[in-house]
Structure 1
Amino acid sequence: MCLAVPGKLVETETIGDNRLGQVQFGGIKRSVFLDFVPEAQVGDYVLVHVGFAISRLDEEEAQRTYELLEHIGMLETEDPAFAGETTTAAALDAIRTGDAIH
């Protein structure tokens, strides 16, 4: 099952034409692409799906989503923040080395 998971944007950077961010999911930080949410700023909550922030949301909605995921057991049986980890890591490496396709 694929899920979009809320996280807090704690850092941003631009590499080439790509805007990236560090998003915190609980105590875990992950690199994500921010190109679909150009308005997102540090401190905002974003919904992340397979390494891409796909929308912004407020803190209340992020908390409700976490509670729902916990209620249905998704936070206990899976770590949805890591969905697409290999693909995202490979894409970020390609961007950093200049091998990315734009």
Structure 2
Amino acid sequence: MPTILLLVASNVFMTIAWYWHLKGGMAKPILLVILISWSIALVEYSLAVPANRLGYASGWSAAQLKIAQEAIALIVFAGFMVLVLGEPLHWRHLAAFACIMAAVGFLFVKP
């Protein structure tokens, strides 16, 4: 559970670092945007690295950690896209999410 919580927190910061400037920050100089994003990303890395170490030490494979991170990233990004950027969700977003969830299922099934 700590792995999942850290990955969720990490992805919140990652999404903000990558996309915050799209709403209201487009007029800012790109160098300033990069520096602000790097500062936010530092927090993201400070959460992602322990999440991966804890998960790996708990028996998760690297592939399981990566696919879980991708699934969490999609959930977090979908919320950001709708709530912050005001973009609607379409059926294709849900179809893509279903594909990622299928990948999660495949990697967590015992061989």
Same fold judged by TM-score > 0.5?
Answer: no
Larger helix fraction of residues: 2
TM-score normalized by the length of structure 2:
0.27
TM-score normalized by the length of structure 1:
0.29
Larger strand fraction of residues: 1
Q: Which protein, 1 or 2, shows the higher relative CO under an 8 Å CA cutoff with sep ≥ 6?
A: 2
